Amino acid sequence: MKRLLEDAPDDFDEDIDGVDKMITYEFIISSAGAQKAHDPVRSARRAQLRRITEPILRERIQPFVWARYPKAGAVCHSMIRRYLERERRTHDTHWDIPSYVSVVVSLDSSGQDFEGGFFVTTGNGEKSFIPLQRGDTVVHQSDLLHGVHVRHGERWSWAMWFQDSWDCSSRAESWWQQEAEARDPVAQTLRAMRAATQQESYSWLQEAAQAGFPRAQLYFGKALEDGLAHHAPDPPAAAAWFERSRLGGEIDACASAEIVVEAGLEGYFLGLWEQKRKNLTGARQLFEEGARFGEGKAMTELGVAYRDGWGGAKDLDLATQWFERAADFTVEAMHQSYLMYSQVRWPHLERAS
């Protein structure tokens, strides 16, 4: 599968990902919804990939998924994703919203071809990488928070999304309804993300946030800040929820040496709030906290603070270091790293490229 696509690097789609706004770098093998799955220019290569993948699906993956998850139906989306040097290196923490059951087959080996890779997280802070070897497969339902961070090397994977129907006509907004009504905060948050109306989304987020789920508290804070569902924007209330979410991540971190995902993200949003209040010193401290926990957007803002000297001393070397670390996570940091190397440090044009 890799050899077929390594010979055609320009055949990969470079759309903007809905999770983190980064470029996707994916090749769609089949899809019930994506028009690019029927693009005649790449039909021959798709046919070659299907000759490889369909027997594996039919003989190994589908029987396993159907035995494990009896409500699962058809594979409605199948694609190859790549994470190469100087391209996308991360896929931010997320749920697979269009998927009832997801399957990820590693086409490379952790520790040999790349470091890092596929991780899972609780939503309270703990983050664990799964050291997948070539051919190893992860099967999970869409209530699993997960993501990708390739620290070194290159990673390729084959991903599939099952729905709970045979004609790919599922109504995702009905998934996890029973669990959500039983007050499961993860299910409530998923219901909010799949809700048919903004008001429904707001109500589920509010309930999950009040139940103490840090990621729901983060999303509810954003809903308050943005004025979701015709509610008046309430930045002070949003900041309070960001703080509660941040503290939830920090509590979980007490028992873990791993990166605290939630605390970093909430530090970022609290930093933005302090920026709006013109408290630049406080904003910089919060961005620094978020950056320490590995949050890419906080790293980017901290780089800006060091570059421009607001909230503390100006330091172009530290600004460059933070932009470069954040370049794994955000397009803006990639651009700023380029500018720092090509304009501020003109001898380093090779590094800028």
Q: What is the mean pLDDT of residues 214-231?
A: 89
Q: Which CATH superfamily is domain 255-352 in?
A: Tetratricopeptide repeat domain (1.25.40.10)
**Per-chain mean pLDDT for the chain:** 86
Domain boundaries, given as residue ranges, for the chain: 2-162, 172-247, 255-352
- Which amino acid, one-letter code, is at 238? A
Structure-block tokens of residue 105: 């087959």
> How far apart are the C-alpha atoms of 121 and 143, rounded to whole Å?
11
> Quick one: 237 exposed, middle or buried, by C-beta within 10 A (0-12, 13-18, 19+)?
middle
Q: Which tens digits make up the pLDDT trace of 94-148?
A: 899 999 999 999 999 999 999 999 999 876 556 799 999 999 999 999 999 999 9
CB contact set of 209 (below 8 Å; sequence gap of 6+): 216, 217, 219, 220, 221, 241, 244
CA 300 to chain centre: 17
Phi (first) and psi of residue 329, to 5 degrees: -115, -30
CB contact set of 277 (below 8 Å; sequence gap of 6+): none
- Give the Cβ contact number of residue 109 at 10 Å: 17
| pLDDT recorded at residue 252 | 27
To the nearest 10°, report the CA torsion of 162, 165, 171, 173.
-50
| pLDDT recorded at residue 257 | 27
> How far apart are the C-alpha atoms of 174 and 200, rounded to whole Å?
12
Is there a shared CATH topology between the 2-162 domain and the 255-352 domain? no
> How far apart are the C-alpha atoms of 9 and 22, rounded to whole Å?
18
Q: What percent of the chain has pLDDT over 90?
A: 46
Give the Å distances, CA to CA, from 84 to 13, 24, 65, 109, 309.
14, 12, 30, 14, 33
* 8 A C-beta contact, residue 187 and residue 180: yes
| pLDDT recorded at residue 53 | 97
* 8 A C-beta contact, residue 163 and residue 170: yes
pTM of the model: 0.76
Most confident of 73-87, 315-329, 332-346: 73-87
* 8 A C-beta contact, residue 113 and residue 153: yes
Query: What's 2-162's CATH class?
Result: mainly beta
| pLDDT recorded at residue 107 | 97
SS3 13: strand
| pLDDT recorded at residue 156 | 97
